Structure 1
Amino acid sequence: MAISEWIQALQDVAWPGFLQPHVEVLLLWITWAVDYIDLDYLEYLLWLLLPFFILFIFPIFLVLFIYGCVIFVHIYGHRHQIREAYHTSYWEGARVAIASFWDGVGNVWHGYELKGIENVPDEGSALFIYYHGCLPLDVYYLISKLVIHKNRSLHCVGDKFIFKIPGWRPLCKLFSITAGTVEECTEELKEGNLLCIAPGGVREALFSDPNVYDILWGKRLGFAKVIIGSKTPVIPMFTENCRESFRTPEWGRSFFRWIYEKTKIPLCPIYGGFPVKMITHLGKPIYFDFDTVTPEEVRKTVKREIRSMIKEHQRLPGSVWQGIAQRWSAPSKKKTDEPEQAELLQRNGAGATSPTSDSEEVVVLRRERSGIDDDDAEVDELGGI
């Protein structure tokens, strides 16, 4: 009855002549919808399909959050008439404000924690090497923590497609996200900055199996060459449940990976937004004998350390429900002697012995050829967020 009265009220309004035909057509459509569409059935379908809508709407909200930051940066730059991001204190205020926003998102939605922040130097360079989750939320949260608690900016190597997304370039510039070459990254570290690289890049983000958290670095050596060239310590990084918050569907994974390998376009669909517990673990810095170590040996050592962190901190196989329950359960030591988990860890290569270190926790490697074959053009790729 209320709808009929509303339609009648619109019909009684004296609309301008150029609007009257359009209003009449609109009212006819509304009248037809009220008379012939079962609104109760539509309400039933809405409640039935609501969980599926939520799963695919959360990734859209994440993109909207990022675009909110982009809009903020644009407005901030226009208001203060600033051309360069790093030459004024106004941009520092924008950076802190955005970091505070993401820090709040992490605390509320994922109960985010950062362990090992004492391993981050107060000054000087360090290179973070991390396992890439489906979406790099943990990197956003880590950047925010370092800005707020360490007053340090974490520079990141991003995949090239990020810079092709309309509107994202100012935000990438504000937070020092670059698609850097080996030479550029080496120079960044020599200048005393913090830098993070995910050697697995988009391939690891989209196609790593959440049951085993397999590391998909291929034969990439770019990050190892950066380490040797800059003579910088490495801080290994892993985030618990980083593959449980967002996931890629198992169906069609091989097809989407084939497309990515041929075109480098990340077309694989993403779903999720689950409020799982996320804890980023930062390992103790790893040092090398930079005069004698080879890139293959650096890659092998860092990869082995990341696998060791996965074995220590991640419950396998990965589970969304267990990740959510972890927010309210007391922390407990991960079980590694269960047959199923041991088999999964063996598939991931986590059973390898961790690198040895002396009392100063310095890894010194000698020149021992590992026999790893050189790869094609992918060898010098760095990966990225």
Structure 2
Amino acid sequence: GLGQDSVPYMLCLIHILEEWFGVEQLEDYLNFANYLLWVFTPLILLILPYFTIFLLYLTIIFLHIYKRKNVLKEAYSHNLWDGARKTVATLWDGHAAVWHGYEVHGMEKIPEDGPALIIFYHGAIPIDFYYFMAKIFIHKGRTCRVVADHFVFKIPGFSLLLDVFCALHGPREKCVEILRSGHLLAISPGGVREALISDETYNIVWGHRKGFAQVAIDAKVVNDCVYSKTGLFRWLYEKFRYPFAPMYGGFPVKLRTYLGDPIPYDPKITAEELAEKTKNAVQALIDKHQRIPGNIMSALLERFH
């Protein structure tokens, strides 16, 4: 049969390779290599995402050094951090290009000036949004404010990073004020909860949250929906119910961010209706661009297509 024929064929192939490379017992080497792969794969799965956290702390160290070197300029300049933002954005954009072949489709939908509310799907490690913010700063020259979960502000060392890149916790009145001042503001309605319990089917987990919709109505701005296509970055949440559960991911998979068509301001729409309309727009982006369920190997292979 086919199975019986394949065994001597593989043995023959191993002997040919042994003679070709001038080594003996190639089969033992292959078995040992397979054993090492089996041993170290779990370690690689756990270590790679922490490399992203390491990069974040390197960014924080750079910001502290930058602040020390420019402390005298602070009293005379309103744009002290522009140089730091540009440097950090360039470095993260370079990392995105090399490690993920990162692309943004629809950047022209981000306005050159004036306010806009950006609604995005929250991945387990929202590194795609870090890359997206870097792209906005490089190509539009604008800093995108972002609403972050309260636990982020409690992470040791993150306060300067959050301050420089204009992260805020809210409340709704502050978000409206930022938009009325003509800035870009990004909100993930699902937040950390979406990051924790969503899976490879990329379900939108917004519950009954509609505060972001009320912000858009009060500020009279358009909504831009954003989704990043990726096969990875999911928290292990079966046992742990806290954001610092063990995580995996960080592979050099292809990352693409897609922007949907802006949802214009409508004075007649309610917050509930706008929230549902926005949710459907994000879901449409997922249905159009994301392979369901997400798969590690297919995401890796996309780097070569």
Q: Is structure 2 residue 221 aligned with structure 1 residue 245?
A: no
Per-residue Cα deviation, 1:211-246 (whole angstroms, up to 9, x for no partner): x210000111110110111001000111111xx232
Equivalent residues in 2 for 1:1-385, closer than 5 Å: 48-81=38-71, 87-210=77-200, 212-241=201-230, 244-249=231-236, 253-256=237-240, 259=241, 265-290=242-267, 292-329=268-305
Q: TM-score, normalised by structure 1?
A: 0.68
Measure the CA separation in 2 of the matches of 1:87 and 1:193: 20
Q: Secondary structure at the match of 2:303?
A: coil
The 3 A distance-change label for structure 1 pair 169 and 319 is same
CA spacing shift, 1:324–1:45, aligned 2, 3 Å: closer
Specify the SS of the correspondent of 1:246: coil
Deviation at 1:52, TM superposition (A): 1.9
Q: Distance in 1 between matches of 2:76 and 2:35?
A: 51
CA contact under 8 A between 1:59 and 1:271: conserved in structure 2?
yes
* Partners of 1:197 and 1:84 in 2: CA distance: 30
- C-alpha distance after superposition, 1:88-127 (max 9, x if no partner): 4441111100001110111011110001011111000001
Deviation at 1:293, TM superposition (A): 1.4
Q: Distance in 2 between matches of 1:111 and 1:284?
A: 24
8 A Cα contact 1:134 1:247, kept in partner: yes
Q: More helix per residue: 1 or 2?
A: 2
Q: CA deviation at 1:255?
A: 3.7
CA distance in 2, matches of 1:52, 1:254: 17
Distance 1:136 1:82, change over 3 A: farther
1:95 touches 1:175 (CA, 8 Å); kept in 2? yes
Going from structure 1 to structure 2, the CA distance change for 1:134 and 1:319 (only over 3 Å counts) comes to: same
Partner secondary structure for residue 204 of structure 2: coil
- Report if the CA contact (8 A) 1:85-1:174 is conserved: no
Q: Work out the CA distance in 2 between the residues paired with 1:229 and 1:83.
A: 37
Report if aligned partners of 2:232, 2:294 keep a CA contact under 8 Å in 1: no
Identity %: 43
Do the aligned partners of 1:131 and 1:198 also contact (CA within 8 Å) in 2? Answer: yes
Q: List alignment gaps of at least 5 residues for structure 1.
A: 1-42, 260-264, 330-385
Mapped to 2, the partners of 1:109 and 1:115 lie a distance apart of: 18
1:248 Cα offset (Å): 2.2
Q: Is the 8 A contact 1:77 1:83 kept in 2?
A: no
Counterpart of 2:298, as a letter, is Q
1:236 counterpart SS class:
strand
Instruction: Provide Cα deviations, 1:47-92, integer angstroms capped at 9, x if missing partner.
Output: 6522222111112211110000111111111122159699444411
Matched residue count: 273
Give the conservation status (yes or no) of the 8 Å contact 1:85–1:173. no
- For 1:307 and 1:191, locate their aligned partners in 2 and report how far apart those are by CA, in whole Å: 30
Q: Which AA in structure 2 matches 1:307?
A: Q
Q: What is the SS of the residue equivalent to 1:216?
A: coil
CA-CA distance at 1:44 after TM superposition: 10
The 1:239–1:44 alpha-carbon spacing in structure 2 relative to 1, beyond 3 Å, is closer
Q: Deviations over 1:232-271 (max 9, x none)?
A: 1000111111xx232223xxx3443xx3xxxxx4243211
Q: Residue 84 of structure 2: SS of its match in structure 1? A: helix
